[in-house]
Amino acid sequence: MSHIRLFPRLNSFQETIPLPSSKSESNRALIINALAGGDMANLSNLAEARDTQTMIRLLADAGNPVADVLDAGTTMRFLTAFYSITGATKKMTGTARMCERPIGILVDALRTLGASITYENKEGYPPLQLNGFQYAGKRELAIRGDVSSQFISAILMISPLLPEGIALQITGSLGSKPYVEMTLAQMAQFGIKASVDWSKGLIDIPAQKYIAAPFAVESDWSGASYWYSMVALSPFEDSSLELLGLKEDSLQGDAAIRDIMLPLGVKSTYTGKGYLLTKCEAVSELSWDFTDCPDLAQTISVVAAAKNIVLHLTGVESLKVKETDRVLALQNELKKLGSTLAEIKPNELYTVSGSFGHSGSTPEIETYDDHRMAMAFAPVGLLREIVIHEPGVVAKSYPSFWNHVDLLLSSSAN
Ligand SMILES: O=C(O)C1=C[C@@H](OP(=O)(O)O)[C@@H](O)[C@H](O)C1
Ligand SMILES: C=C(OP(=O)(O)O)C(=O)O
């Protein structure tokens, strides 16, 4: 299927959406469970996301000298640390885009600990060749926090296995902090004790053993964000959705979508089984810092553009090194809705503003091999006909996305 065409419906919806499981929680659970020597049967509700299925496949294929992670960032970063500490000889590679995503900060940290790693092409980027591990005898490690938190999560998960544990000093600002907290919380569920001083950026983990334990993965709050958009963009006041499996007290930072969407016109009510989303009044201008929840920036930018809400975004620096340069991709595609994403302060402050076009030629949205481009723009189909190119990209995190969209929107695929 090279594109999907979505058509607005003429009435409201009241539906229940069975959300996918979190790929972030799944990929941590898989690494931690493997380090604990646990049985796979201990893990329930693992994500159907390709990133997680790739992790499962690669962990089961220990003897293969090559690990191809495709486009999965967490799989690349977590497995590089996992194979390093387990002394594997392994080539780590992925898609062309994965080979443009930085990994030097993690490689430097692993080398300091004792890993032997070489770059096959460009310094600081995959593919990598891992050639075993000889403990360097140092428990103090400094690591930058401003490029990707996944480097820190990767190091943290292997740290209990280091002969003296680790005293990790995060330097600079820390982006995506809730993902580091998620890592520590999941490690704690497998018996790991850590002391953390966020005011100093210090995480201390003594050497200790993981204790195998059962772990059930929650529904995905990042995937939930697109259903929030559906409610925000529905022109009918009585539209509502119930999202199943979301927890009130989630490990996922993207649960912040509850707070972000309130001023954008969506009220969240916990039902015991998940969340009920209903419509409420929206503001006309909003500022939001996405440092803790970068994966929500596309969702929110599109909602703002489609509702003619002026949105000021900060904390979006990391968007340039994700599945695509998400700032550039948004700039190109928001134009097709009548909006601009203007860089107000270089690399710091961006503003979405414009005038949403209900008529004129059908916007044809390119997706740049990025699942979140496809899912962020799909809800616009509630307001006007729209075409999304390469809709299969959603498989990275949410393979059943279009089946769920069918509950709300008519579509034709080509
Ligand atoms: O650790 C994780 O599971 C993730 C961390 C974030 O990446 P960065 O830390 O690179 O911002 C996020 O964007 C990604 O989708 C998943
Ligand atoms: C950035 C993402 O994933 P990753 O970095 O793990 O490829 C994402 O899912 O939006």
Asked if residue 169 and residue 125 are part of one domain, the reply reads yes
Asked if residue 236 and residue 158 are part of one domain, the reply reads no
Count Cα neighbours of 382 within 13 Å in the Cβ-side half-sphere: 27
The three-class DSSP label of residue 361 is coil
Can you read off the two tokens belonging to residue 173? Answer: 């600002």
Domain end marker among 189, 216, 243:
216
Pocket test for ligand 2, best of 74, 76, 106 (most atoms within 8 A of CB): 74
Instruction: Kindly give the number of the ligand 1 atom that is closest to the alpha carbon of 180.
Output: 1
Q: Which amino acid is at 406?
A: D
Asked if residue 140 and residue 284 are part of one domain, the reply reads no
Domain end marker among 165, 186, 216:
216
Structure ipTM: 0.99
Asked if residue 76 and residue 186 are part of one domain, the reply reads yes
Q: Which of 68, 220, 295, 370 is catalytic?
A: 295
Distance 135 CA to ligand 2 centre (A): 30
Cβ atoms of 220 and 22 within 8 Å: the answer is yes
How many domains does the chain contain in total? 2
pLDDT at 159: 98
Nearest to 171 by CA among 149, 145, 151: 145
Query: Is there an atom of ligand 2 within 6 Å of 326 CB?
Result: no
Asked if residue 376 and residue 229 are part of one domain, the reply reads yes
List residues near ligand 1 (CB under 6 A): 24, 74, 148-150, 153, 175-176, 179, 294-295, 318
Give yes or no: 249 in active site: no
Q: Which amino acid is at 298?
A: Q
Where would I find the beta strands (DSSP E) of 148-291?
166-171, 195-197, 202-205, 215-216, 240-244, 266-270, 274-279, 285-289
For the chain, the C-alpha Rg in angstroms (whole number) is: 21
Domain end marker among 216, 247, 274:
216
Nearest to 274 by CA among 43, 11, 21: 21
Instruction: Kindly give the number of the ligand 2 atom that is closest to the alpha carbon of 27.
Output: 6
Query: Is there an atom of ligand 2 within 6 Å of 337 CB?
Result: no
pLDDT at 411: 87
Asked if residue 126 and residue 105 are part of one domain, the reply reads yes
Asked if residue 254 and residue 141 are part of one domain, the reply reads no
Question: Any alpha helices (H) in 144-288, and if so which ranges?
Answer: 149-158, 177-189, 221-233, 257-261
Asked if residue 208 and residue 224 are part of one domain, the reply reads no
Distance 408 CA to ligand 1 centre (A): 29
Asked if residue 351 and residue 246 are part of one domain, the reply reads yes
Cβ atoms of 147 and 321 within 8 Å: the answer is yes
Asked if residue 226 and residue 175 are part of one domain, the reply reads no
Query: Which residue range is the domain that position 168 belongs to?
Result: 23-216
pLDDT per 10-residue tile (average), the chain, 414 residues:
92 97 98 98 98 98 97 98 98 98 98 98 98 97 98 98 98 97 98 98 98 98 98 98 97 98 98 97 98 98 98 97 98 97 96 94 97 98 98 98 95 86
Asked if residue 310 and residue 200 are part of one domain, the reply reads no
Please state, in angstroms and rounded to a whole number, the distance separating the CA atoms of residues 388 and 310. Answer: 24
Nearest to 302 by CA among 390, 386, 410, 398: 386
Please state, in angstroms and rounded to a whole number, the distance separating the CA atoms of residues 302 and 325. Answer: 16
Q: 222 to each of 187, 289, 296, how far by Cα in Å?
A: 21, 16, 7
CATH of the domain at 343: 3.65.10.10
pLDDT at 358: 87
